[in-house]
Amino acid sequence: MNAAPENLQSVFDRTFAGISQELGNFTPQLAPREVGTIMSVATGIAKVSGLPGVGFEELIMFPGDVLGIAFNVDEDEIGVVLLGEYQDLHAGDEVQRTGRVMDVAVGEVLLGRVIDPLGRPLDDNEPLNANERLPIERPAPAIMDRASVTVPIQTGLMVIDALIPIGRGQRELILGDRQTGKTAIALDAILNQRGKNVICVYCAIGQRASAVARVVASLRTRGALDYTVVVVAEGNDAPGLAYIAPYAATSIAEHFMEAGHDVLIVYDDLTQHARAYRELSLLLRRPPGREAFPGDIFYIHSRLLERATHLRKERGGGSLTALPIIETEAQDISAYIPTNLISITDGQIYLSPSLFELGVLPAVDVGKSVSRVGGKAQRAAYRAVAGNLKLAYAQFEELETFARFGARLDDDTRKIIEHGRRIRACLKQPEFAPVSVPAQIAVLLALTANLFDPVPLDKMTDAGNAVREAAATIPKDVSARFETAAKLNDEDKKTIMEIARTALAPFQPKPEPKPEVKTESKVEPKAGSKDDGKVTADAKPKPEVKAEPKPEVKSETKPESEPSPEAQAEVKPKPEATPKEKS
């Protein structure tokens, strides 16, 4: 009974001794915290004083958990780009440094999700639980870490895959006036990556909420959202969000590329990105240059698109293919922003409003479009089939302009124009209907072999669909060569040609025997009765009379015109005789 209180007392003693020892060892440490003050707030920006140790592009925390990026670091003040709602911010509010740059959540948890550039979900699903984050501004891979572009990325559009091929790791610009189908081409490319181990990232910059909702609904209904990440900065968001959106989307894509995946990223569109940057720069009093854009507008796009590449096998062998979209005004591709991006990218796909109005969809102007890298990555089967197709189509477009003036054309020119019209009809394609590689090669081979030339133009759509459907019967050993670097041999071409001929047989006009029967009936009566012979005899001189007087009239008219001066000459001596009579 007496031992128990002693043991309890010893426990208390040891406990208090430990506490006193810890208190003796504890030394309070003071951590400095830099605090600034808002001087003024404008549309999407704020000017802050204080924060002497802030760095360029460092995150700054504002009241209400509003973030901002230090954009201008001057001696007396800091120009901050706001990344959220700024209506509740006022001059005199306290701000503080975060000590980190802007970053975004990355990983496979983002697949199938719609997020904003800050990584916040916009699809009303469960919150994101990403284990890794990457800064939105990252240096591009070194040249020694890159590999050449050797594998194509199929878009499912024949006009692009055959004439303007795109390789994995390439940067291909899509430009054209508004409402010409630029987004539709990018969406078709995303839809065609299903089952091909390609991850897609769609970045909407400054788009209307309704337009973004339609895109997301199209991807979801067609099963493409499962391998796609959608990053959205709507048009009514702060301009700072539109500015950082493509960089955040690229960091998300780079995470998959560095993991060894092939990634396709679409920037829709960089015109809005440039306008957002111009707005922020002018509000921050940066000096404007050509077309009121600041001088570093080229650099913001070049450092963005330089991150798209194909890595070496030692770095994982992943690739990042970029499809930036640009909106032109009045078909002016020589404006400031379009020329900047044309010089940065590896080629461009130009969409013509005139072709769009004529119903040629996709409205790709083959003459103004080019792919500087993708030709080397194009499959050998495409090169063998579509080698002269672009030249024939370009010749057709030039001759078609002359034919509109009603000029008389020879047979060769007429054949080129008719063949070009068949090419244009075969390259037409509805939206959200990608064509497989065997079907494309079957149609292209039939085009180069002039199998479509006898088909009437009004039946070209049905004829092209018949060839695409018949391409499913191509032997597997032949279709397997389409995906490899092996060239098609003569037997493979004959096999495909026979399949195409069989599919086109119902659409070709049948020979009419009627005129042959008429000619036979005319020949038979010549050897018949006398009465028939009289009819034929009467019929014979009629064409002879018609044929003979024509040259005779021409020859007779000439001498008739010749005596007229003789008559004038005969009239002249008459007045010469009159003076003799007077004399």
Q: Which residues contact 79 (CB under 8 A, 6 or more apart)?
A: 45, 47, 70, 71, 72, 73, 284, 285
Is the pLDDT at 38 greater than 90? The verdict is: yes
State the chain's mean pLDDT as an integer: 86
Q: 350 and 175 in contact (C-beta within 8 Å)? A: yes
Q: How confident is the model at residue 528 (pLDDT cuts 50, 70, 90)?
A: very low
Q: What percent of the chain has pLDDT over 70?
A: 86
Q: Average pLDDT for residues 256-264, to the nearest whole number?
A: 97
Q: 423 and 159 in contact (C-beta within 8 Å)? A: no
User: For position 290, what pLDDT does the model report?
Assistant: 85
Sign, Cα dihedral of 465, 469, 475, 480: positive
Q: Average pLDDT for residues 12-19, to the nearest whole number?
A: 85
Which residue from 51, 48, 45 is spatially nearest to 91, judged by alpha carbons? 48
Tokens 């008219």, located at residue:
557
Q: 378 and 347 in contact (C-beta within 8 Å)? A: no
User: For position 516, what pLDDT does the model report?
Assistant: 54
Q: Average pLDDT for residues 424-443, to the nearest whole number?
A: 94
User: For position 13, what pLDDT does the model report?
Assistant: 83
- pLDDT tens digit sequence for 364-416: 999 899 999 988 899 888 988 887 888 888 889 888 877 777 677 888 888 99
Half-sphere exposure of 570 (CA within 13 A, CB side): 4
Which residue from 515, 493, 510, 502 is spatially nearest to 445, judged by alpha carbons? 493
208-222, 392-406, 537-551 — which one is most confidently predicted on average? 208-222
* C-alpha distance across the termini of the chain, in Å: 189
Distances (CA, A) of 166 to 82, 348, 535: 37, 10, 72
The token duo for 293 is: 């854009």
Bridge partner residues of 42 (DSSP): 45
Lowest mean pLDDT among 364-373, 456-465, 521-530, 552-561: 552-561
Is the pLDDT at 203 greater than 50? The verdict is: yes
Lowest mean pLDDT among 111-115, 378-382, 467-471: 378-382
User: For position 485, what pLDDT does the model report?
Assistant: 74
- pLDDT tens digit sequence for 495-515: 999 999 999 999 888 766 555
Ordered domains of the chain (ranges, CATH):
35-101 (2.40.30.20), 102-377 (3.40.50.300), 379-510 (1.20.150.20)
Q: What percent of the chain has pLDDT over 90?
A: 66
235-239, 243-247, 542-546 — which one is most confidently predicted on average? 243-247
List helix spans (H) across 289-377.
297-305, 336-344, 353-357, 374-377
| Segments of 102-212 assigned E as strands | 103-106, 114-115, 132-135, 173-176, 198-207
Q: Average pLDDT for residues 78-92, to the nearest whole number?
A: 94
Q: How confident is the model at residue 522 (pLDDT cuts 50, 70, 90)?
A: very low
Q: 39 and 91 in contact (C-beta within 8 Å)? A: yes
Distances (CA, A) of 248 to 133, 138, 268: 11, 10, 14
Catalytic positions: 372
User: For position 399, what pLDDT does the model report?
Assistant: 87
Q: Average pLDDT for residues 241-251, to the nearest whole number?
A: 97
Query: What is the C-alpha to C-alpha distance for residues 99 and 79, in angstroms, rounded to an integer?
Result: 17
User: For position 487, what pLDDT does the model report?
Assistant: 82
Lowest mean pLDDT among 138-142, 299-303, 380-384, 421-425: 380-384
State the pTM of this model.
Answer: 0.82
Which residue from 171, 168, 135, 130 is spatially nearest to 152, judged by alpha carbons? 168
Q: How many residues does the chain have?
A: 583
- pLDDT tens digit sequence for 474-483: 998 888 888 8
Is the pLDDT at 420 greater than 60? The verdict is: yes
Query: What is the C-alpha to C-alpha distance for residues 246 and 458, in angstroms, rounded to an integer?
Result: 44
Would you give the distance in Å from CA 215 to the centre of its chain? 16
User: For position 398, what pLDDT does the model report?
Assistant: 84
- pLDDT tens digit sequence for 272-321: 999 999 999 999 999 998 889 998 999 999 999 999 999 999 999 999 99
Amino acid residing at 408: R
User: For position 527, what pLDDT does the model report?
Assistant: 44
User: For position 512, what pLDDT does the model report?
Assistant: 62
User: For position 510, what pLDDT does the model report?
Assistant: 73
